[in-house]
Amino acid sequence: MVIRGLTINKSNVKQSNIELNGNGVVVSSLHVEHTNTIKNNNITNSNVTQAEILIKGNAKVRDLTHKVTNEIENGSITDSSVEQSLVKISGNTIANTIDVGATNNIEGTNIENSSLVSQNGVYISNSQVNNLNIRQNNSLKNSTVTSSTVSPREIPIYWG
């Protein structure tokens, strides 16, 4: 999915969103490949998520493969949050194998007063994951970052 040449203000933008929610959700095999590009855009007071997978509410997943390439190029991000390749697993989910391969690039972009710019966040809470494989290649090139938090990799795992 390509978003090009827009002004995005006071918006929630999601590219490639998959949500498995609720009791009784059983997935034997899910293989997802995404390529998402945001180019020449001005993003202000917004939340942007590229390639999001949410699994919650007692879901059972045998095999999940998530391969993604996300790019943000030649734009500005002001007073906004951006998450590239986000995986959240919660609510007593049981998963056998989760395999995440992500390439996240931000290039030629001015990031200012942004609360969070995260590349490849994986959050697991109150769930069981037997095999977790994460391969990532994250880059921030030729960009200016002012009064912002940039996280190239974030993997908090909470057991409860």
Q: What are the DSSP calls for 23-52, one per residue?
A: TT-EEEEEEEEEEEEEES-EEES-EEEEEE
Q: What is the pLDDT of residue 117?
A: 85
- What is the C-alpha to C-alpha distance for residues 39 and 73, in angstroms, rounded to an integer? 5
Per-residue confidence in pLDDT tens, the chain, 160 aa? 788 888 889 999 999 888 988 788 899 999 989 899 999 999 999 999 999 999 998 999 999 999 999 999 999 999 998 999 988 999 899 999 999 899 999 999 999 997 688 888 888 899 999 998 988 898 989 988 888 877 765 555 555 4
User: Under a CB-based contact definition with an 8 Å cutoff, are residues 142 and 108 in contact?
Assistant: yes
Q: What is the pLDDT of residue 116?
A: 81
* Three-state secondary structure call for residue 156: coil
H or E segment and range at residue 2: strand 2-4
Q: What is the pLDDT of residue 62?
A: 92
User: Under a CB-based contact definition with an 8 Å cutoff, are residues 36 and 48 in contact?
Assistant: no
Q: What is the pLDDT of residue 154?
A: 54
- What is the C-alpha to C-alpha distance for residues 121 and 156, in angstroms, rounded to an integer? 8
User: Under a CB-based contact definition with an 8 Å cutoff, are residues 119 and 87 in contact?
Assistant: no
Name the residue among 71, 75, 74, 73 with its Cα closest to residue 43.
75
Tokens found for residue 1? 């999915």
- C-alpha R_g of the chain: 16
Pairing of strands 110-112, 2-4: unpaired
pTM for the predicted model, two decimal places: 0.85
- Measure the N-to-C terminal CA separation of the chain; round to a whole number of Å: 37
